[in-house]
Amino acid sequence: MAALLPELTLEPSQVSAYVRAVDADRPLLAVAAERPRIPASTIKLVTSIAALDLLGPDHQWHTEVRIDGEVVAGTLEGRLSIKGYGDPFLSTEDYAALIRAVRAKGIRHIAGDLILDNSHLVAPTAGRGDFDGAAQRSYNALPAALSLNRQVTDVHLYHDRARGGVGVYTEPPLSHLDIVNEARVVQAPCRGRYHRLSVRYTEPAPASTGEETIAATPQPDADGSPGGGDPGPLEPQPPADDTQAQQPQTIPLPELPGNGGPQAGSRDLDADARAAQPPRLTITGTFASECPDERIPRLILSPEQHAAAAFDALWREAGGTLSGRVLAASTPAGAELFHSTDSEPLHAVLRRINKWSDNLMARLVFLALGSQHAGPPGSKEKAREALHAWLAERGFRFPELVIDNGSGLSRDSRIAAASLGELLTWAYRQPWMPELMASMAIMGVDGTLAKRMRNEPIAGRAHLKTGTVRDASCIAGYVLGADGRRWVVVVLVNALPGQRLAAWHGHAVHHALLRWFQDGAKLP
C-alpha cells in the first residue's frame, strides 16, 4: 500500500483502514483508525444499523387518504387529503393503486379541495442545488413526507418507428408539464457521437394569485450550465414552534395547450393560474436508431407540484374529476380515514438505499428515527438525538461522530474507521444481520460495485457500502476471506485541503487492500 500511494499522488495521512475478523476481540489492522474522516455514503450503514435495531426489519410507513365530507352519488362534498408519513419509496404504481382505490370505493368527483399534506416532516430550508449546484440530479432530492417516485421525473425516450421520430413520455405522468420534443432520429449505430440527447427544464414566472404559490426551484440545464438565480428555500420555512400546522398554499395546475381546455367538472382554477404558462420540458439532440430506450431521471418539480401533477393525471385517467383547488396544507381536523396504503418493509427499503446509494431514501429513514423518538414532525435534530441516545444505550462511545442528514451527501459528517468497524462487528452478531448484509452491494455483481473487480477472485465475496463525494472515496462492510473467515473492512480515503480526489484513486486503494484478503491477509 505504501508503495502504491505515491503513484496515486496520495499521502499515507489520507488513508484510514480497519480490518477485524467478525469473531475477534480486536482488529488485525488499524491504520489511522481513530482519525475522524468524511465517510461519504458509508455513513448510510450507521443509519441502516440504527433503523434495523430501533424500528425493526419489518417496519413500514403508510400514506393516508382522508375526507371531510359526505360522498353523495359519487361526489365527495368536501375536501380530500393525501397525507404522507415519509414513505422512502412511494412508487408511481403505489400512487396509482391508491388513486384507483379511491375511485373503486365510490368517489368520482371531488367537489372540494385536494390537499397534499407534508406536515409529518419539517420542511428543509436548503435548496436542491446547495450541495454541488446540480439541482436537477436525483441524488439531490430533499426529504418531504409525501415523496412520489423519490420526487424524480423519469423522462423516457424511445425510437418511435411508427412515427419515424423520437417518442417521449414521463413517469409518473404529469398533467401540467408542457413537453417540447425537438429531438430527431438518425440512422446510425448506438454510439455516443450519434446518440446525444439533452433535456432542459424551464419554469416561467409564477402567476399572481394573491396567495403564496409553491414554485419549483430554477434548475441548471441538463448539460450542466447554470439555471436561474438563487431561489431561496425550496419549501416554506418551518414555524418556530414545529407543532404548528402546515400553512395552506395553492399549487397551480394550469391547463396545457392541446388538452382541449378545461373540461366539464375538471379542476376550477382561478383566472390568473389558468392563464399562466406551464413549466416546460424541452428535449433536443439526436437519437441513434440502433439504441434501446433511454431513461433520463430529473428533479424538475417541487415535491408538492410533483405529487399534485401526478394525481391530476392519474385521477383523470381513472375517470375522476376535481373542481376545487390543489393545496399544500395540513389535513383538516376531524377528517375521516378513507383509504391507507403501506410501504415496503424496512429491509427491502435498505436494499435500495445501500446497493444503489439512494440519498433521499436514507434521509427519510433517518428522519423516521427522530419521529419515533420524539414524535412528529420529524427533523434532523430529533433524528440526531435519537441516534446518539441509541449509541449510548448500546454502550458505544464515538466522540468524533458528526452525522448531518444520515445519507452521506454532506461534507460535514465525520466518523473514524474504528467506530464504523466496531459498529459493523456488533451488527454482525444481531438477529437482523442477514438483512443488513443483504442490503449491501456485492463486489463485481450488483449495485454500485457491479463493475468493480468483477474478474478477480474476490468478486461475489464482499458485501460493501461504497461512498464517493468530491473529498472522499470510501468502502465499508463485510468480506469473506480466502480461508472462509468473515471480516469487517473499513477504508476511508480523504482529500487534503484544496486537493481534488479522483474517485479511481480511492478505488485503487480499496482494491489493493481487498486483494490482500485473497493472499491470506498476512501481516508483514
What's the pLDDT score for residue 215? 29
Asked if residue 437 lies in contact with residue 355, where contact means CB atoms within 8 angstroms, the answer is: no
What is the distance between the alpha carbons of residues 370 and 377, in angstroms, rounded to a whole number?
9
Find the distance separating the first CA and the last CA of the chain, reported in whole Å.
12
Could you tell me if 167 and 207 lie in one domain?
yes
Say which range, 189-198, 244-253, 348-357, 433-442, has the weakest mean pLDDT: 244-253
Could you tell me if 120 and 150 lie in one domain?
yes
Could you tell me if 302 and 223 lie in one domain?
yes
Asked if residue 360 lies in contact with residue 375, where contact means CB atoms within 8 angstroms, the answer is: no
Could you tell me if 335 and 374 lie in one domain?
no
Could you tell me if 317 and 424 lie in one domain?
no
* Number of compact structural domains in the chain: 2
Q: What pLDDT digit, counting tens, does each position of 365-397 carry?
A: 999 999 999 999 999 999 999 999 999 999 999
- Whether cis (ω within 30° of 0) applies to the bond prior to 226 is no
Could you tell me which of 142, 368, 313 has the C-alpha nearest to residue 236? 142
What is the distance between the alpha carbons of residues 427 and 420, in angstroms, rounded to a whole number?
10
Residue 34 vs residue 206, higher pLDDT? 34
Q: What pLDDT digit, counting tens, does each position of 461-484 carry?
A: 999 999 999 899 999 999 999 889
Q: What pLDDT digit, counting tens, does each position of 281-307 carry?
A: 999 999 999 999 999 999 999 999 999
Could you tell me if 338 and 362 lie in one domain?
no
The four Cα atoms 128, 133, 135, 137 give a dihedral, to 10 degrees, of -120
The three cell numbers of residue 330 are 395540513
**455 lies in a domain?**
yes
**290 lies in a domain?**
no
What's the pLDDT score for residue 276? 56
**106 lies in a domain?**
yes
Could you tell me if 389 and 319 lie in one domain?
no
**188 lies in a domain?**
no
Could you tell me if 265 and 398 lie in one domain?
no
Determine the structural domain holding residue 97 and report its residue range. Answer: 62-155+162-179+202-272+296-342
Q: What are phi and psi of 352, to 5 degrees?
A: -70, -35
Residue that finishes a domain, picked among 288, 318, 342: 342
**285 lies in a domain?**
no
Confidence check: pLDDT of 256 > 90: no
Cα 348–Cα 49–Cα 449 angle in degrees, nearest 5: 60
Could you tell me which of 369, 317, 321, 289 has the C-alpha nearest to residue 53? 369
pTM: 0.85
Q: What are phi and psi of 275, to 5 degrees?
A: -80, -15
- Average per-residue pLDDT for the chain: 86
Could you tell me which of 351, 345, 361, 365 has the C-alpha nearest to residue 463? 351
Could you tell me if 389 and 304 lie in one domain?
no
CB count within 10 Å of CB 243 equals 9
Cα 436–Cα 438–Cα 441 angle in degrees, nearest 5: 105
What is the distance between the alpha carbons of residues 418 and 52, in angstroms, rounded to a whole number?
21
